[in-house]
Amino acid sequence: ETGVTQSPTHLIKTRGQQVTLRCSSQSGHNTVSWYQQALGQGPQFIFQYYREEENGRGNFPPRFSGLQFPNYSSELNVNALELDDSALYLCASSLEGGHTEAFFGQGTRLTVV
Amino acid sequence: GQQLNQSPQSMFIQEGEDVSMNCTSSSIFNTWLWYKQDPGEGPVLLIALYKAGELTSNGRLTAQFGITRKDSFLNISASIPSDVGIYFCAANPGGSARQLTFGSGTQLTVLP
């Protein structure tokens, strides 16, 4: 077990709604990244947070936004949900700097209907 | 954007056989990693590679970072039933193991 916990584990939302997913990072880890994994695909990098600021972003529209809190936990917010947003959303925590690997949580399965 | 081409897409092997899978790219990456993902779980790191030409082992797993920095392979020796799962390569153009680009995965099935 990595120590990275995500909530909720499963979620069903209606197209057009907004959703917030949560992640608690592994103890001592100050960097959180979010990934979207569509069925049958590899994870795709959404963005990364360090010191409560976004410091890297993948090819995702602005309706995907996030927050990092002083305790390093993080939220992923998605507005105006689309059917294609249905996916497993993964959070990974790590230490900034050097050769430090990211450890993933178990993910939140989001279904948009 | 940068893409990783992972092959094969799936493999069916007999228990005890060796397995090899690889990942290639048209772009240079300075960090390569291999992950395993079980159903309903997040990816678990198997091996991280930070230097071109590096060959690293983790038990029955061996991975290499290609000299051109555009490819990597993973070998699993003497496969066992618990090796079943999806294996992903991942890479970063810098020296970081974060903000990763992932391959599309290799589904491994081990037959008794």
CB spacing of A101 vs B33 below 8 angstroms: yes
For B88, the closest of A42, A56, A102 (CB atoms) is A42
Cis peptide before B8 (omega within 30 of 0): yes
User: Is the CB of A25 inside 8 Å of chain B's CB atoms?
Assistant: no
Distance from CA of B96 to the nearest CA of A (A): 6
pLDDT tens digits along B44-83: 999 999 999 999 999 999 999 999 999 999 999 999 999 9
Which residues lie below 8 Å from residue B82, measured CB to CB, with a gap of 6+?
A: none
Residue B50 with chain A: CB contacts under 8 Å: 99
> Vertex A50, ends B28 and B100: CA angle to 5°?
25
Whole-number pLDDT of residue A1: 59
Q: Which of A73-77, A96-100, A107-111 has the lowest mean pLDDT?
A: A96-100
Q: A99: burial class by Cβ within 10 Å (0-12, 13-18, 19+)? A: exposed
Q: Is the pLDDT of residue A105 over 90?
A: yes
Q: Is the pLDDT of residue A5 over 90?
A: yes
- Distance from C-alpha of A37 to C-alpha of A44, rounded to nearest angstrom: 6
Whole-number pLDDT of residue B29: 93
Q: Average pLDDT of B92-107?
A: 87
Nearest CA in chain A to B10: A40
Probe site for chain B from A21, A90, A99 (most B CB atoms < 10 A)? A99
From residue A11, alpha-carbon distances to A21, A107, B4 in Å are 9, 11, 30
**What stretches of A38-85 adopt beta strand conformation (E)?**
44-50, 53-57, 64-68, 74-78
CA A23 to chain centre: 7
Distance from CA of B9 to the nearest CA of A (A): 10
> Vertex B97, ends B92 and B99: CA angle to 5°?
60
pLDDT tens digits along A39-62: 999 999 999 999 899 989 999 999
- Distance from C-alpha of A45 to C-alpha of A94, rounded to nearest angstrom: 14
Nearest CA in chain B to A99: B96
Q: Which of A96-105, B51-60, B80-89, B94-103 has the lowest mean pLDDT?
A: A96-105
Greater pLDDT, A19 or B39: A19
Q: Is the pLDDT of residue A102 over 90?
A: no
Nearest CA in chain A to B40: A106
Whole-number pLDDT of residue A29: 87
Whole-number pLDDT of residue A48: 93
